[in-house]
Amino acid sequence: MLIAFQGEPGAYSEAAALTFSPGASVLPCPSFEEVFAAVDSGRASHGVLPLENSIGGSIHRNFDLLVEHELPIVAEVEVLVDHCLLGMPGTALDDVKVVYSHPQALAQCEKALGGMRGVELVAAYDTAGAAKMVRESGRRDAAAVASRRAAEVFGLAILRESIQDFADNITRFCVIANPRERTGEAAVAAVKVQDANKTSIVFALQSRPGALFKALAGFALRDINLTKLESRPLRGRPWEYAFYVDVEVPAADAGLQRAVADLREFSHWVRILGSYRAWKA
């Protein structure tokens, strides 16, 4: 198994890939788009993508990419994010004048970084990528917010440990796969996950009074629990939206199938993004 992930070795996405399959090989990619391309082309068998952080919220780009590609979700993984401040060996904390990291990581460490006077915060494409930047620059006035693993990979010193604002800092990842069938719901059906108990759905509603209420009523009437509901703009159609829903039943559940049938009556289109096993720590 070869799992594509966005970022450099030592990224939290790499940790998610190895949590999903400890013996797998991994393929670093420079962008989320490259992860999808690697799986779509067959260069990688699976891809791992962050969807949501318990502090920073959703990673919207990946929700959009799930619609743009027909690569079903086959698993869910959660990773506890433990940020460290990394610098060149010999760097003193008071020497740091600039800190690099992914914008989400910088936001998750706002209190700790805000207490460092005169420090400039600079966004980078990835936490481990920020660590790589510090290593390659050799600057002793620069630091990165990244994982302990990134410190090991790039030979950096840990200047401060566990600097995130909240201890329960968790990122939820999805794992995508390349199915044999490549069209719509056939793609989901081609990748059957044993003991699936969660399903992700996306739909675009007709603009009518009460449309969302009516669309969701089919789930409520059948006692189907929604664990997530989020809207995203439809590109090229101003002020129209797609709605993403996670429910706590498999796609094969008869009640869910009837709820989806009801949903189609109020929607322009409906897609099942995947049916998989919900993560248990």
Q: How far is CA 160 from the centre of its chain?
A: 26
Which candidate, 64, 58, 74, 75, places its Cα nearest to that of 229? 58
Q: How many CB atoms lie within 10 A of CB 241?
A: 16
For residue 244, give the nearest of 33, 59, 5 by alpha carbon.
59
What is the DSSP code string of 191-249? SPPTT--EEEEEEEE-S-TTHHHHHHHHHHHTTPPEEEEEEEEPTTSTT-EEEEEEESS
Residue for token pair 């940020």: 83
- Give Cα 172 to chain centroid, integer Å: 6
Q: Give the span between the Cα atoms of 277 and 200, in whole angstroms.
A: 11
Task: Name the residues annotated as catalytic.
Answer: 171, 173
Q: Which two tokens stand for residue 269?
A: 């289109």
Q: What is the spatial distance between Cα 100 and Cα 134, in angstroms, rounded to a whole number?
A: 8
* Cα dist from 41 to 50, 106, 134, 169, whole Å: 21, 33, 33, 33
Which is nearest to 72 in space by CA: 42, 27, 39, 25? 39
In which element (H, E) is residue 110 found?
A: helix 110-114
Q: Give the dihedral of Cα atoms 29, 33, 38, 44; nearest 10 deg.
A: 70
